[in-house]
Amino acid sequence: MLDTQYRMQEDICEFPSKEFYDGKLKTETSPKPRLFLTKSRQTCIVFGHVEGKEKSLVVSTERGNENSKANLEEAEEAVRIAILLTEAGIKTKDIAILTPYNAQVSNIRESLIDKGIRDITINTIMKSQGSEWKYVIMSTVRSCPKPDIEAQPTKSWIINRLGFIMDPHQVNVGITRAQEGLWESIMCEKFDP
């Protein structure tokens, strides 16, 4: 089992270490300035709450047509964060937007092109395995209205409502692509890291 990593800042590594490596994953990177500013502190990891509506779509892929999911509001927020990063001086080649769904990849790519931005990597989480970027924006896509959230969700409810974002492998891969900064959309009322 991996016990030392040389990619991520310690704040980014904390969750994967606890969840996937029994708390034993050590960080051997030099601390970098923390770019994100929340109400309470400067940090290199931010969880953002985006209320949007997910849609089921059919998209064309290299393997043919597939059913996929997209969330336009979340796509726009991911693009907004990417633009803020570039305005803060981050090079587009150092930014990736990752999502579990091909339909969301298409939405985000079109939105960036419409805004004249072409050099940011937009890909599915699975296709990003083995790669790394200084800054990663994760778009989880899935959204559930508060009244529909189950207090004691069944396995079936979790699969139908949360899908890929409940796959520990995808969560681990998505988070661990980031070196210096991670912004991730999540379904929650309020969260200040």
Q: Is the pLDDT of residue 24 over 50?
A: yes
Question: Which tens digit of pLDDT belongs to each residue from 86-105?
Answer: 998 999 999 999 999 999 99
pLDDT (0 to 100) of residue 35:
60
DSSP string, the chain: ---EESSS-HHHHHHHHHHHSTT--EE--------EE-SS-EESEEEEE----EEEEEEEETTEEEEEEEEHHHHHHHHHHHHHHHHTT--GGGEEEEES-HHHHHHHHHHHHHTT---SEEEEHHHHTT--EEEEEE-------GGG--SS--HHHHHHHHGGGG-HHHHHHHHTTEEEEEEEEE--S----
Q: Is the pLDDT of residue 37 over 70?
A: no
Question: What percent of the chain is predicted at pLDDT more than 90?
Answer: 37
Q: Is the pLDDT of residue 73 over 50?
A: yes
CB atoms inside a 10 Å sphere around CB 11: 18
pLDDT band of residue 190 (cuts 50, 70, 90) is: very low
What's the average model confidence in pLDDT over 31-56?
A: 69
Architecture (CATH level 2) of domain 44-186: 3-Layer(aba) Sandwich (3.40)
pTM: 0.82
pLDDT band of residue 63 (cuts 50, 70, 90) is: confident
Mean pLDDT of the chain: 84
Out of 84-88, 113-117, 167-171, give the one with best mean pLDDT: 113-117
Query: Residues 125, 100: contact at Cβ < 8 Å?
Result: yes
Q: Is the pLDDT of residue 191 over 50?
A: no
